[in-house]
Amino acid sequence: MKVNVHAVNFNVDRKLIGYVQERLDKLEKYYGKVVYSDVFFKLDNTSDKENKIA
């Protein structure tokens, strides 16, 4: 399955892309005709640096 990852306001780490790919590959068990998926991440600016919302 082709996975397109888009990120707004931050750069996506390779580990996160790998995790997304791994989780979405499990969809092929249930839906065999999935060709591609688009994943969007957006980082909301908050005053807390520790608990960012993504």
Which candidate, 3, 2, 12, 4, places its Cα nearest to that of 42? 12
List phi, psi (to 5°) of 24.
-75, -25
> Is 31 a member of any domain?
yes
Rounded Cα–Cα distance for residues 15 and 46 (Å): 24
Question: In this predicted model, what pLDDT tens digit does every residue of 1-54 receive, in sequence order?
Answer: 899 999 988 888 999 999 999 999 898 888 888 888 999 998 777 666 666 655
Q: Please give the tally of structural domains in the chain.
A: 1
> Is 52 a member of any domain?
no
Domain span at 24: 2-42
What is the pTM assigned to this prediction?
0.69
> Is 15 a member of any domain?
yes
> Is 22 a member of any domain?
yes
Structure-token pair, residue 13: 């780490």
> Is 30 a member of any domain?
yes
Rounded Cα–Cα distance for residues 19 and 27 (Å): 14
List phi, psi (to 5°) of 49.
-85, -25
